[in-house]
Structure 1
């Protein structure tokens, strides 16, 4: 689906296993797993979605995911609708929904199957599977339809969809210990802890007595060492799990800190 604007609807199609993806979820995402399996975690909980499963991923969360096609000759497929803040604000105003009070709830929600969800997603597939050029107006209609359906099937979702609050200032040390393995820009960490980038860096150095970049590198290497030596994890898995972008950079940093390559530590464990 192509358009001059940022698309509201996305289609994923993978023929091979895609591991180690991660992202900052900026908007709520309503998705159907068409085929294959998606494993997704926010660092606190892990959810597995198989063919026919529906999910809602809340905005302002960090997630890692693995996309796996069916075992024999299949293709991983999913379709997602992004429920952006402006669309939700306009919908709330038009339909008289008050702004919800922020409440803590899981970042990843499994939605129960419903014939209306199934019908809605099937109405989108001809557009995305054929890569049709769909205009902004039609995409907006589909976003509004998705919001209506979610509220009709599960009215309590209004507490999530119409919560327009931004992250408040939270405990920085606790947050970083829980999220150091996410490889995102520093400005994302700052935003999610309720700080400007400058304040984040200043607060960080007061707490940890070092820069965010250096602390993240050392913390990720410590975790990698533990996972390889104590848990017997494979190097090819560990470097992604702890937040490194590529294996060569991880191996170089690991050897520089511990004096030997991670592969040698793996051999010692075996």
Structure 2
């Protein structure tokens, strides 16, 4: 996957994926405003999944665990423009404009319908990537303000999300792991999202589940894959990534070790 960053201050990135698919588990440290130019992106979260295509515009909340699968579609590679809305920038905007939100915080991915404001905004961003020099900081700052203003014009409820500057606190470990076990990421990240250091995460995990995180995660992911194959009649190649495995060979080996036969025998 290739990326070109236009402005480090604005967190403005143009991303291209030429591979047949690219998968990553992400936890964004800031909200991301995204326009997909071509290709397809599937986002798998704990309680639902989304599929986005060319022309779609979305807002990803920060600190939300997601598996993101990017693929070419209709002969075109995955391309997108990503604008990061950092906490510092948001505080600056809402303080300067004396805006206080009364909306409930909704940490879910928002998809926006096509709109001239969105089309014009991302067209202007796209033109900046032809610059040989970095976009000047004062212009980048104006584009961030413009992005926030457009989001608020289209959906005032985004204020609740954009003005929530809290960090993850210590939460119920069992509930979190039961919802997020299919995400393949370092234990440090699981610890962070549950409000724990790595050592505390391991200690608390052993108390709750009576086994190590890795053994428990592998078992849960295989059970999910088995259900998808046997009940939903999906193919192994369509299951292993969403179940949390890095590649097909690792999945096939672990599946056969657990159940005694290859995953392909269920299809």
Name the TM-score class by shorter chain.
Answer: 0.7 to 0.9
1:89 is aligned to: 91
1:214-234: per-residue Cα shift (whole Å, max 9, x none)?
Answer: 211221122223333333332
Shift of 1:7: 6.1
Check the 8 A contact 1:32/1:121 in 2, yes or no: yes
Aligned twin of 2:134:
134
Matches within 5 A, 1:13-92: 13-15=16-18, 17-71=20-74, 73-92=75-94
Per the alignment, residue 179 of structure 1 pairs with 180
2:126 equivalent in structure 1? 125
- Identify the range of structure 1 (159-168 vs 241-250) with the bigger mean alpha-carbon deviation: 241-250
Q: Quick check: 113-122 or 176-185, which moved more?
A: 113-122
Q: Counterpart in 1 of 2:264?
A: 266
2: CA distance between counterparts of 1:178 and 1:22? 15
Per-residue CA distance 1:184-242 (angstroms, 9 max, x = gap): 11122122222232322222111101121221122112222333333333222222121
After superposition, the C-alpha distances for 1:21-75 in whole angstroms (9 at most, x for unaligned) are 332222111111223333323131222323322111111111123334342x334
Q: Does 1:235 align with 2:236?
A: yes
Shift of 1:245: 1.1
Give 3-state SS (helix, strand or coil) of 2:15's partner: strand
Distance 1:90 1:239 in 2: 43
Distance in 1 (alpha carbons) for counterparts of 2:253 and 2:46: 26
Q: Which residue of 1 aligns with 2:144?
A: 143
Question: Cα RMSD over matched residues?
Answer: 2.6
Distance of 1:210 and 1:54 partners within structure 2: 42
Q: Is the 8 A contact 1:2 1:133 kept in 2?
A: no
Aligned to 1:209: 210
Measured in 2, the distance between the counterparts of 1:213 and 1:250 equals 14
Structure 2 segments unaligned to the other structure (5+ residues): none
Gaps of 5+ in 1: none
Quick check: 1:102–1:163 contact (8 Å CA) kept in 2? no
- Residues of 1 paired with 2:180 and 2:103: CA distance? 21
Evaluate the alpha carbon distance shift between residue 215 and residue 167 of structure 1 in structure 2; reply closer, same or farther with a 3 A threshold.
Answer: same
State the TM-score, normalized to the length of structure 1. Answer: 0.85
Bigger drift between 184-193 and 201-210 goes to: 184-193
Deviation at 1:104, TM superposition (A): 5.0
2:256 — aligned with what?
Answer: 255
Instruction: Give the secondary-structure state (helix, strand or coil) at the position aligned to 1:97.
Output: coil
Measured in 2, the distance between the counterparts of 1:155 and 1:230 equals 42
d(CA) in 1 for partners of 2:136 and 2:150?
20
Q: Secondary structure of the residue that 1:134 maps to in structure 2? A: coil
The question of whether the paired residues in 2 share the 8 Å contact of 1:232 and 1:266 is answered with no
TM-score (norm 2): 0.86
Q: Give 1:108's aligned residue.
A: 109
